[in-house]
Amino acid sequence: MPNPAPVPDHVPPDLVRDFSYFTGPGMCPMRGGDPQGALADLHDGPPVFYAPNNTYDGYGTWVFVRAEDQRRVLQDAETFSSHRRIFEKALGYDLPTIPLEIDPPEHGAYRSLLNPLLSPKRVMAMEAANRARAAELIDGLAAKGHCEVMTDFAFPFAVGVFLEFLGLPQSRREEFLGWADKQFHGTPEERGEAIRTVIAFMEELVALRRREPAEDFMTFVVEARVGGRAMTDKEAVGMGALLFVAGLDTVAAAIGFDFRYLAENADAQDRLRADPGGIVLAVEELLRMFPTVLMTRIAACDTEFDGIAIKAGDRISCPSMVANRDPAEFPDPNRIDLARENNRHVAFAYGPHRCLGSHLARRELVIAMEEWLKRIPAFRITPGTAPLTYGGHVFGIEDLRLDWEVG
């Protein structure tokens, strides 16, 4: 366990709490764990607290518990900045992750540029290819009667969608899967090596599309103009690298948590097979219960939040998995209701930085569940096994082994 960060002088002692997304109860890798559920009891404590053990680049973090307070923070980009310099701090790369780490008003120009590429219309244009890809992967597993979901389906499917979006051939899937495996599950050295490889690839792709335009994402980016000027190579590379880092692990993990729930609840499988139209609402409810991403910010200036002094430079954490179980927002918040309506979850964050890829992610999850339930009979977690779950910057699940009868 890393040493706790020093508690700043402006933090009242009664607001300091022993807490960590990385090493706390239910957060460390464990078999059969429930990392999202392990955080539900935070609603029994203070709505805002300081966690020196929850170290973020050497600092402790303020943790905001209530959904209403998280919305206030995430909406106020002027006070709570997204400019965290992820690649620079992790790898020494001066590379902007656009639009994730750009604050308004500049953020709006990039967002407006990218919105059409991830609009519902554009996502639906990819639907047939993505659905065919899911069906192909599942059909390759059906006759076996068993699989490990993450390596056999979730990651290959997510990487295939990424290649489709980027305009790259599916023949490169195994190569990208190797990079993804190192990036998300390797040692710190392997993770650094993987993201450097991805950045180098994006640099080559940017140069190629400047020489040889095509009908794809990167051509659109390198030919785009923002604020009246051409996009720089660094900006284009940052966009491409962010797509890889942000769009694979999160979707694959969400598929894993969804399939685990279904494997443990045969009645839910039966219900959705009998009424496939209910899958859209079911996906929303499972996004509420099993979100995978923490939202983090940095205070851009000294401020006060409900009487609590927050100083410039303080790290801020808005855990979606806590807001999504807020009893003030959701009746019976720890119960899964696959038909829940008016589901105001924040799995995709809130405010100006609400996830740009939310439409695509939703369709990936719906397609995955529809095609799986259509092709795989009643399935369960393989007896004698249990998936490995963990917390962290992205909550994850691994070694999810399922089996079913082959008729």
Which residue, 54, 132, 65, is CA-closest to 329?
65
pLDDT of residue 89: 59
Mind giving me the DSSP string for 304-343?
EETTEEE-TT-EEEEEHHHHTT-TTTSSSTTS--TT--S-
In 46-148, which ranges are E strands?
48-56, 59-64, 80-81, 146-148
Which residue, 405, 390, 392, 391, is CA-closest to 30?
390
pLDDT of residue 79: 94
The pTM for the full model equals 0.93
Distance from C-alpha of 35 to C-alpha of 21, rounded to nearest angstrom: 9
Q: Is beta strand 80-81 parallel, antiparallel or unpaired with respect to 294-299?
A: antiparallel
CB atoms closer than 10 angstroms to residue 33: 20
Q: Which residue ranges form the domains of the chain, and what is each CATH number?
A: 13-404 (1.10.630.10)
pLDDT of residue 327: 95
pLDDT of residue 135: 97
pLDDT of residue 261: 98
Query: Helix, strand or coil for residue 45?
Result: coil
Which residue, 313, 372, 328, 355, is CA-closest to 114?
355
pLDDT per 10-residue tile (average), the chain, 407 residues: 80 94 88 94 94 82 96 94 67 70 81 85 91 96 97 94 85 85 78 85 92 89 87 88 80 96 97 97 97 91 96 94 95 95 90 86 97 98 97 91 93
Angle 249-264/266-274 helices, nearest 10 degrees?
A: 100
Return all residues near 386 (Cβ < 8 A) that are at least 6 apart: 31, 32
Q: 3-state SS of 259-297?
A: HHHHHHCHHHHHHHHHCHHHHHHHHHHHHHHCCCEEEEE
Return all residues near 274 (Cβ < 8 A) that are at least 6 apart: none
pLDDT of residue 91: 54
What's the N-to-C CA distance of the chain in angstroms? 49
Joined tokens for residue 12: 């009242």
CB atoms closer than 10 angstroms to residue 29: 13
pLDDT of residue 73: 96
CA distances from 287 to 198, 227, 231 (A): 28, 35, 34
pLDDT of residue 85: 65
Query: Helix, strand or coil for residue 49?
Result: strand
CA distances from 176 to 199, 212, 381 (A): 12, 22, 28
Cis peptide leading into residue 25 (ω within 30°): no
pLDDT of residue 84: 66
pLDDT of residue 389: 96
pLDDT of residue 174: 87
pLDDT of residue 87: 55
